[in-house]
Structure 1
Amino acid sequence: MRGEFHAPELDPEFFPGQYYGHILFEDFANGWFALDRLMLVRILMTIIVAVLFLVAFRSPKLVPSGLQNFAELALDFVRVHIAEDILGKKEGRRFLPVIATIFFAVLAFNIPTIIPGLNISPNARIGMPIVLALLGYVTMIYAGAKRYGFGKFVKSSVVIPNLPPALHILVVPIEFFSTFIMRPVTLALRLMANFLAGHLILVLLYSATNFFFWQLNGWTVLSGVTIVAAVAFTLYEIIIIFLQAYIFALLVAVYIELSLHADSH
């Protein structure tokens, strides 16, 4: 009845191509439709979110109740507190579909980190954060190019007016790098890093609890400390689940706003 401590093993989860038995449809169509566990979690959460909104709005009522009321409150939160707060009513409604899609996608893919049996957020692997960041990045460029034309938008974004000409040699590359490279990179890395770190901490805390509890000696008492820490960190992760979705969508809205007003750089 002695516990064994198993350190978290990332390779099968994050680099499944190196291992056999972790991938479905690996041999079908040269692996184009291969599915590992994280991909299956993404598909599951996508289906759940789609079904929830379809059921909520399949027969909308003037006075909402139940699931429709919850869905409208969620959409109103994104519309009022993210899209319209940053972009104003007109542009907020225009870009609401993209911002809401990003918010609910990030939120849905964050939730599995605390669901028993799933145990990990698909956003803890870089693929999905890159896709979501690219969606925000393309929307940001579209917003600016649509208003100014692509060339003028890029110029307005990187050239600061009234600077001495010699300083442009230094400032333009910095502005280009920060605007067109760092924005999507930091969006993706911030999201991934938060949930990869959270996953590791939860695995370590619950594994330590199991290890200490089954020692059946003085170390068993320490399992009470680690389980309390594990539960507390799980509650903290619930906050992070929502907060990271909010921050991601908020930053996309801010980047769109900056593109729409690139001439006032």
Structure 2
Amino acid sequence: MTKLLASGGEFVAPGVKDFFLPPIFGGVTKPMVLLVLSIVIIAAFFLAASRNLKLIPGKFQFAAESVYDFGRNNIAREQIGAKDFKPFIPLILTIFTFILVNNLFGLIPLIQFPTMSHIGFPLAVSLLVVYPVYHFVGFKRHGFVGYLKHQTVPPGAPWFVLPLLIPIEFFQKFILNPLTLAIRVFAAMFAGHLLLLVFTLAGEFLLLNGGLTVIVAPVSFAFAIALTFLEALIMCLQAYIFALLSASYIGMALAEEH
């Protein structure tokens, strides 16, 4: 959908330009503020929930414990392994909650902007946090040469295919994985928010300027509402996938075999 013409008006669909918001002050933009706000929210949530711990938890403590248990057992333990997962619980839990809160900003009234729809933010998490951690622990456990072999030489591969496999494995493990980790959540947040904008603004346009086509406006709003629920599910799922893959990369780096 590019343009809708009705009653002399013109609807220009939202696009990439709508994701580049003007600075609030100086060089500080809304996504930057939301990034800091997400850290404050997460820190306040866990500090408040753990301030007065009880044997029988209240609703707030139960919610925090549920999030912690999910990150600990369903992500870190399963992907890294029972032997090595404990030191990485804070990292995986932080990644999961950080991505989740920044995604959910896209559904909060007045905010309505998923921070991860700017490619720079998921790239920063992937390249500056996840990427160094899993390669560092891999080099530490296996040694420099041992880790390179561990990552690039599939066990049991015939020697004559190694000249082809080694460059492919190296490219995947050291270049492609951190990029796809970031692009996955960025693409989902960008596309989802763009669709919500299209149906919401199109419904408003048809309602106010559509002439006889005003009867189509409720259909556009209905699609926007349905997409909102779908987007909420995708936001949670993408946070889970990002944390899951981060833990998986750490687990593969530490594993004795692929």
Number of residue equivalences:
250
Secondary structure in 2 aligned to 1:8? coil
Q: How far apart are the structure 2 equivalents of 1:99 and 1:211?
A: 43
Counterpart residue number, 2:4 = none
1:48 to 41, 44, 51: 41
Please tell me whether residue 104 in structure 1 is matched to residue 97 in structure 2.
yes
Q: How far apart are the structure 2 equivalents of 1:75 and 1:233?
A: 29
Give structure 2 stretches of 5+ with no counterpart: 1-6
Please tell me whether residue 156 in structure 1 is matched to residue 150 in structure 2.
yes
Q: How far apart are the structure 1 equivalents of 2:97 and 2:210?
A: 45
- Cα root mean square deviation, aligned: 1.8
CA deviation string 1:141-189 (max 9, x = no partner): 1221121113211122102345444422211100100111111000000
Q: How far apart are the structure 2 equivalents of 1:35 and 1:158?
A: 42
CA deviation string 1:177-225 (max 9, x = no partner): 0111111000000110100101110110001100111136321110010
Alignment of 1:105-184 (within 5 A): 105-134=98-127, 135-184=129-178
1:7 to 13, 31, 56: 13
The residue type paired with residue 201 of structure 1 is L
Q: How far apart are the structure 2 equivalents of 1:111 and 1:41?
A: 11
Counterpart residue number, 2:253 = 259
2:29 to 36, 41, 61: 36
Q: How far apart are the structure 1 equivalents of 2:32 and 2:137?
A: 31
Question: Are residues 235 and 138 of structure 1, via their aligned partners in 2, closer, same or farther at CA, if it must alter by over 3 Å?
Answer: same
Q: CA deviation at 1:6?
A: 4.1
Q: How far apart are the structure 2 equivalents of 1:94 and 1:42?
A: 25
Please tell me whether residue 60 in structure 1 is matched to residue 53 in structure 2.
yes
Q: How far apart are the structure 2 equivalents of 1:184 and 1:155?
A: 19
Counterpart residue number, 1:19 = none
Q: How far apart are the structure 2 equivalents of 1:163 and 1:191?
A: 33
Q: CA deviation at 1:95?
A: 1.1
Q: How far apart are the structure 2 equivalents of 1:206 and 1:162?
A: 54
Please tell me whether residue 82 in structure 1 is matched to residue 88 in structure 2.
no
Q: How far apart are the structure 2 equivalents of 1:144 and 1:122?
A: 31
Q: How far apart are the structure 2 equivalents of 1:77 and 1:161?
A: 32
Contact 1:13/1:37 (CA < 8 Å) preserved in 2?
Answer: no
Q: How far apart are the structure 2 equivalents of 1:41 and 1:123?
A: 10
Q: How far apart are the structure 2 equivalents of 1:245 and 1:83?
A: 14
Q: How far apart are the structure 2 equivalents of 1:64 and 1:206?
A: 41
Secondary structure in 1 aligned to 2:54? coil
Q: How far apart are the structure 2 equivalents of 1:180 and 1:121?
A: 28
Q: How far apart are the structure 2 equivalents of 1:209 and 1:55?
A: 41
Q: How far apart are the structure 2 equivalents of 1:245 and 1:163?
A: 34
Secondary structure in 2 aligned to 1:97? helix
Q: How far apart are the structure 2 equivalents of 1:35 and 1:217?
A: 41
Contact 2:81/2:251 (CA < 8 Å) preserved in 1?
Answer: no
Counterpart residue number, 2:183 = 189
Question: Are residues 157 and 216 of structure 1, via their aligned partners in 2, closer, same or farther at CA, if it must alter by over 3 Å?
Answer: closer
Under a length normalisation based on structure 2, what TM-score does the superposition of the two structures give? 0.90
Question: Are residues 153 and 209 of structure 1, via their aligned partners in 2, closer, same or farther at CA, if it must alter by over 3 Å?
Answer: same
The residue type paired with residue 86 of structure 2 is R
Secondary structure in 2 aligned to 1:89? coil
Q: CA deviation at 1:90?
A: 3.2
Q: Percent identity?
A: 37
Contact 1:13/1:38 (CA < 8 Å) preserved in 2?
Answer: no
Contact 1:113/1:119 (CA < 8 Å) preserved in 2?
Answer: yes
Counterpart residue number, 1:30 = none
Contact 1:87/1:253 (CA < 8 Å) preserved in 2?
Answer: yes
Q: How far apart are the structure 2 equivalents of 1:74 and 1:209?
A: 37
Contact 2:97/2:239 (CA < 8 Å) preserved in 1?
Answer: yes
